[in-house]
Amino acid sequence: MGCYFPCKISVYFPKSEKSRTFILYFCLQKLPLQEIRNTMPQSPAPFTLNLGGRLFTLDRPVVMGILNVTPDSFYEGSRTPSSQPEAIRRRVRQIVDEGGQMIDIGAYSTRPGASEVSPREEMERLESALQVVHEEAPEAIISIDTFRADVAQSCVEQLGAHLINDISGGDLDKGMFRTVARLGVPYVLMHIQGTPGTMQVAPHYDNVVAEVLEHLARRVQKLRDCGGKDIIIDPGFGFGKTLEHNYRLMERLEDFHELELPLLVGISRKSMIYRLLDTSPQEALNGTTVLNTIALLRGAHILRVHDVKAAVEACRIVEKMREEN
């Protein structure tokens, strides 16, 4: 009689209500390892995004480079004012040359205490930047970082943007979901507690992971009810969260796969890094790379970053590790 060994294997099933843990008992003498692997469920098909008729497959992690055309973003090194087209041109080339496939253009800083920007000024900044992006990086996927439905619509219909990245998850402009659904573009739905002006005033949760997950699930369903399809979720690191909340979310990042949607992580040079390490945004690259690597190992599909080269290298290393396994 063969000798049996208990083996605990955790498997994520994307079509199930939740991850399940199975205890498999097998005889090592009679069941080869390859045969055991063959009995395991196959990996799900990769997510795809419809970019104006072009199908983009998220079969490996993607780096989204940040292009801030603002004078007051929290990280000084990322400021590329729209009044400096040559600086924008250099930044776009840098993102592409370092391996970024997506460019996220922001014209309205959402850091606490940032100046108010009118819709007209936001559009003027975006128009200048988009012209340069189309000239320098015609193959790049262009994302617009805005919470305004009218701005989103103009950028997609008139200026050739492919994707909308909304830090409010549709809460700051009630017309956003209908607009995104009508446009048929992919949409990054982020969690935020409060507004950019109030989000860091004593944020509170009884269970941050459960509450953020529940909020995203409700918003995803509402967007789907409006006809939205290609949805990307973002837990919203730093948006209405304390240091402890942010690290709890990172620890439990895999829980967000329960929504069966692509996952974007944006922690680049944020306060959850430099406050913990008692440094500054300018000195937070190493911490950013560490957290980006952890996020990749927990299944992040898109990294939104200032430092594209470091993020691309992290992706390549994690992908190599997965190939070896």
Q: How far apart are the first and last CA of the chain?
A: 32
- Nearest CA to 273 out of 282, 265, 264, 262 is that of 282
- Which tokens sit at 132? 């340069």
- Which tokens sit at 60? 């490996």
Phi/psi at 232 (5° precision): -115, 135
User: Would you call 241 a catalytic residue per the annotation?
Assistant: no
**Which residues have CB under 8 Å from 224's CB, separation 6+?**
231
Distance CA 207, CA 166 (A): 24
9-36 b/e with 16+ CB inside 10 Å = b?
Answer: eeeeeeeeeeeeeeeeebeeeeeeeeee
Distance CA 197, CA 55 (A): 37
Distance CA 63, CA 98 (A): 10
Contact, 100 vs 63, CB < 8 A?
yes
Half-sphere exposure of 80 (CA within 13 A, CB side): 23
Distance CA 121, CA 184 (A): 25
Contact, 188 vs 164, CB < 8 A?
yes
Taking CB atoms within 8 Å and a gap of at least 24, the contacts of 29-34 are: 29/2, 29/3, 30/2
- Which tokens sit at 119? 């819709």
User: Would you call 270 a catalytic residue per the annotation?
Assistant: yes
Residue among 91, 125, 269, 270 flagged as catalytic: 270
Q: Which residues are catalytic?
A: 270, 304
